[in-house]
Amino acid sequence: MIETSECAAAAPGLKRVATPNFPQIRSVHLARDEAHIWQADLELLTAPESWRDILSQDERERACRFLFTRDQQRFITCRSILRVLLGNYLGRGPAELVFAYSTHSKPSVAVPPSDIRFNLSHSGDRAVFAFVRDRELGIDVEQIRRDFETQSVAERFFSTAEREALARIPLERRHEAFFHCWTRKEAFVKAKGDGLFLPLDQFDVSLDPGQRAQLLETRPDGEERNRWSLSALEAGPQYAGALVMEGPAIKLVNYRIPGS
């Protein structure tokens, strides 16, 4: 079941945390039987200098490593949004949060201790953020680019079953199918937290835009696919998105960052 709201309603007992010049986001309660998906249009959100102040020193250093101002600004915007959203869930100021990173650089909240798991992705002008309790998860969004060379990438990274399925898709829908496949595979890799150490051809996902998103096969352990649930995301025209969560499917609740 998917629910949608332009702005989250206030939840009793949760502290609303203000951030200077940040879109006003009301706190919401994250129940154990639901996952929250927040989306933002980065073209409509420009991070003022004050947003940088809520980032950690290592995040500011990462921002400075981007060669182009546009990329630096979008990194700052996404990390600031992440901190504000987490701060609202946890009732803490966004600058108070301390992140820990796995051996493959997957972030989690170290301070304060929390059972909330999260993941984020951005492509083009779209950013997506996912939150759930006590489950590993991965989210991915990609802009469907018609100038992208899909054939060579599919030959290199997709499984045999996926390449065959892609070849059966009518040519006018093949780019869309490619990006649906790619986001589903990336979301699964991110959920597992294996980074580049999980070969993309070791599992199969559905890719036909007209069919339900599914994790079809996992290798060498064929039972692992039953550990995860895969959902397609409605990320807007010319975007493909996917969410993978540990355990059975639960209710997805969609929110949009105000002003975006």
Q: How many domains is the chain partitioned into structurally?
A: 2
49 shares a domain with 20: yes
* Residue 201 within a domain: yes
Range of the domain at 9: 2-130+248-256
146 shares a domain with 112: no
The residue with tokens 């706190």 is 27
**Can you give the pLDDT at residue 260?**
62
Q: Residue 255 is inside which H or E element, if any?
A: strand 251-256
176 shares a domain with 124: no
143 has which bridge partners? 239
238 shares a domain with 214: yes
CB 150 within 8 A of CB 178: yes
Q: What is the pLDDT of residues 112-148, one digit of tens each?
A: 999 999 999 999 999 999 999 999 999 999 999 988 9
Average pLDDT value for the chain: 88
Which one-letter amino acid corresponds to residue 249? A
CA–CA distance, 118 with 137 (Å, rounded to integer): 7
Both tokens of 186, joined, read 């990336």
Which range among 26-35, 40-49, 103-112, 167-176 shows the weakest confidence by mean pLDDT?
40-49
Question: In this structure, what CATH number is given to the domain that contains residue 188?
Answer: 3.90.470.20
**Can you give the pLDDT at residue 14?**
35
* Residue 135 within a domain: no
* Residue 100 within a domain: yes
Q: Please state the length of the chain.
A: 260
Rounded to the nearest 10 degrees, what angle do helices 69-90 and 57-64 cross at? 160
228 shares a domain with 252: no
44 shares a domain with 121: yes
Neighbours of 156 (CB within 10 A): 9
113 shares a domain with 14: yes
Q: What is the pLDDT of residues 157-195, one digit of tens each?
A: 999 999 999 999 999 999 999 999 999 999 999 999 876
125 shares a domain with 52: yes
